[in-house]
């Protein structure tokens, strides 16, 4: 089985970005969502994007953001993909894909087979679905270090590409990748020493474990 692509999300300072580049992750995620401890301004994103250019692809994470917020982030950070982590409909995903001419990733919270089946509705509208844990009401819709029952998405065969997120860590990512066959794995809090503070050693360990090294 091929090693999964790796996204490290919530990059908000140069040291974390350098750790992601050193670990040869495929994607660095920038969070544009004010309630998140990983939120960053378009100006900070622009500086990080310049440092990332040519080394790692940049994914902007948004939660039910309006077009103007996304436009500012796309322009500042020269994003390579948009990750929609709220309640965005297939129509909204298709609109953003067309407007920004960028691949769109749609996160879906999973607790049941019916949640997984929702992915089909995004075929053509999004490029990738990211299966993630459902978080408690009143908390962030992601980035909480919560995982879900991986058997629900094991070797998922659907009409679009997919990835696995939610509570992935250096300690469990190899098992998650083996059980699910996920083509992409995504982590944020699992490679932190505190909310919003990335740990270079854990980023390196996550990437090595995901690749089966």
Rounded Cα–Cα distance for residues 115 and 48 (Å)? 35
Euclidean distance between the first and the last CA atom of the chain, given in angstroms as a whole number = 14
Residues 10-29 that bind ligand LGQLAAA5 (CB under 6 A): 10, 29
Among 162, 190, 207, 209, binds ligand LGQLAAA5 (CB under 6 A): 190
Note whether 187 binds ligand LGQLAAA5 by CB under 6 A. Answer: yes
Note whether 31 binds ligand LGQLAAA5 by CB under 6 A. Answer: yes
Among 27, 30, 32, 33, binds ligand LGQLAAA5 (CB under 6 A): 33
Among 25, 40, 48, 61, binds ligand LGQLAAA5 (CB under 6 A): 61
Q: How is the chain split among helix, strand and coil, in percent rounded to 5?
A: 35, 25, 40
Specify the length of the chain in residues: 213
CB 80 within 8 A of CB 128: no
Number of residues that bind ligand LGQLAAA5 (CB under 6 A): 28
For 48, phi and psi rounded to 5 degrees?
-65, -35
Note whether 183 binds ligand LGQLAAA5 by CB under 6 A. Answer: no
Residues 89-118 that bind ligand LGQLAAA5 (CB under 6 A): none
For 6, phi and psi rounded to 5 degrees?
-125, 130
């Amino acid at each position: 089985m091929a090693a999964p692509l790796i996204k490290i999300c919530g990059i908000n300072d140069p040291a974390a970005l350098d750790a992601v580049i050193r670990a040869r992750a495929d994607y660095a995620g920038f969070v544009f969502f004010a309630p998140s401890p990983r939120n960053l301004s378009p100006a900070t994103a622009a500086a990080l994007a310049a440092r990332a250019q040519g080394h790692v692809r940049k994914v902007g994470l948004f939660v039910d953001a309006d077009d103007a917020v996304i436009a500012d982030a796309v322009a500042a950070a020269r994003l390579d993909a948009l990750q929609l982590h709220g309640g965005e409909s297939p129509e909204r995903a298709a609109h953003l894909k067309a407007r920004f001419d960028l691949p769109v990733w749609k996160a879906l919270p999973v607790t049941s087979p019916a949640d997984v089946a929702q992915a089909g509705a995004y075929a053509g509208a999004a490029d990738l679905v990211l299966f993630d844990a459902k978080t408690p009401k009143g908390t962030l819709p992601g980035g909480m270090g919560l995982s879900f029952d991986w058997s629900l998405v094991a070797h998922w065969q659907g009409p679009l590409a997919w990835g696995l997120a939610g509570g992935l860590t250096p300690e469990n990512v190899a098992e998650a990748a083996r059980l699910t066959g996920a083509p992409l794995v995504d982590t944020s809090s699992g490679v932190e020493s505190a909310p919003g503070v990335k740990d270079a050693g854990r980023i390196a360990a996550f990437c090595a474990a995901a690749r089966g090294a």
